[in-house]
Amino acid sequence: MKTFCFLYAAFLCLFFTTIKTNAKNHVLEDKYVYIFDELRPLINLLKTKGFKIKFEIPPKKGVYGLFQNKSKTLWISPITFELGIGRQTILHEATHAAQSCPNKELTPIGYEFSLSPFIKNEIQAHLIRNYDINHYILEKEAFSLQGNKNGVNLLLKAINERCNDL
């Protein structure tokens, strides 16, 4: 009986390890990501201004997107499109790209939005749990823009105004 339990446990470990590995490889090998037409001008403008956009798993564990100021690179995890949050992730990271101009230091763009108390509380709770207090205003602006229906146009304007010297 002990041998059977051991073999069964070994089989389960092997089975779940294989599933995890295949799922991981599937995400890494998937090079095709569908971008909504609405986002193409934003992505093209970012590239024109010298930013790199990688539709890959970000190098920081546990995040859907990442902006690295030093290399001017935006990472957007492919899984965000499967989860239905690809647009929001692109807008969030594009906000950080706009915040990095013109001084190569992240500074607020200056957008303030009226949010419902529920959404405002959710954003604040998330920011307090997951972000450094020094980045609170930057992240609040990015979270607000990612959910704004006019976010793409606002970011196009901000990037054109702020990122001229690149």
Q: Are 78 and 13 in the same domain?
A: no
Give the domain range for residue 61: 32-162
Query: Considering the chain, what is the average pLDDT of its residues?
Result: 81
Whether the CB-CB separation of 89 and 76 falls below 8 Å is answered with: yes
pTM: 0.76
Query: Residue 157's pLDDT is what?
Result: 97
Q: Are 85 and 151 in the same domain?
A: yes
Query: Residue 165's pLDDT is what?
Result: 65
> Dmax over Cα atoms in the chain, in whole Å?
72
* Structure tokens belonging to residue 125: 């709770």
Q: Are 15 and 2 in the same domain?
A: yes
Residue of 129 and 93 predicted with greater confidence: 93
The DSSP result for the chain, as a single string, is -HHHHHHHHHHHHHHHHHHHHHHHHHHHH-------GGGHHHHHHHHHTT-EEE-S--SSTT-SEEEETTTTEEEE-THHHHHT-HHHHHHHHHHHHHHTTTTSS-----------HHHHHHHHHHHHHHS-GGGHHHHHHHHHHHT-TTHHHHHHHHHHHH----
Q: Are 1 and 47 in the same domain?
A: no
Q: Are 17 and 94 in the same domain?
A: no
Residue of 18 and 106 predicted with greater confidence: 106
Q: Are 20 and 97 in the same domain?
A: no
Q: Are 96 and 41 in the same domain?
A: yes
Residue of 73 and 4 predicted with greater confidence: 73
pLDDT, mean of residues 88-115: 93
Residue of 72 and 14 predicted with greater confidence: 72
Q: How many domains does the chain have?
A: 2
By the 10 Å C-beta count (0-12 exposed, 13-18 middle, 19+ buried), 63 is classed as middle
Q: Are 39 and 111 in the same domain?
A: yes
Q: Are 111 and 89 in the same domain?
A: yes
pLDDT, mean of residues 137-158: 93
Q: Are 12 and 55 in the same domain?
A: no
Q: Are 80 and 114 in the same domain?
A: yes
Q: Are 9 and 51 in the same domain?
A: no
Whether the CB-CB separation of 73 and 67 falls below 8 Å is answered with: yes
- The 10s digit of each residue's pLDDT in 3-39 is 433 333 333 343 333 333 333 333 334 456 678 899 9
Q: Domain holding 41: CATH number?
A: 3.30.2010
Distance separating alpha carbons of residues 161 and 166, to the nearest angstrom: 12
- Is the N-terminal amide bond of 102 cis, ω within 30° of 0? yes
125: how many CB neighbours lie within 10 A of its CB? 10
